[in-house]
Amino acid sequence: MAKKLGKSEKLDLILSELRSLRSDVKTLLKQERQAAGKSREARRPQPQPAKKAAAKGTRSRTPAKPRRPVLVEAAESDAPAANLTSRIA
């Protein structure tokens, strides 16, 4: 028959098993990262989308329309004088 283990011996056995499992997990993760890195390098790079060539100095024949309505302040000469009375009266 096997000798009965005390509490501290059981704890030591459990901790040593846990330590070995952790080291196994670390090595597996390391191998997986290396394999993923190799497969990433082996893939062909996808071509970048073509950029449109911006032609400087070429403008459209029609002026650009504002996107939103813009409030334009009237010049003083365009605005009617405030002290003029109506001619109808």
The Cα-based distances of 28 to 14, 44, 46, 80 in angstroms read: 21, 27, 30, 85
- In whole angstroms, what is the distance from residue 50 CA to residue 54 CA? 12
Flag the least confident range among 2-11, 34-43, 64-73, 75-84. 75-84
Give the span between the Cα atoms of 73 and 87, in whole angstroms: 26
Report, as an integer, the average pLDDT of 41-65.
69
> Which of residues 47 and 26 earns the better pLDDT score?
26
Q: What is the pTM of this model?
A: 0.40
Q: Is residue 51 scored above 60 in pLDDT?
A: yes
Judged against a pLDDT cut of 80, whether residue 46 lies above it is answered with: no
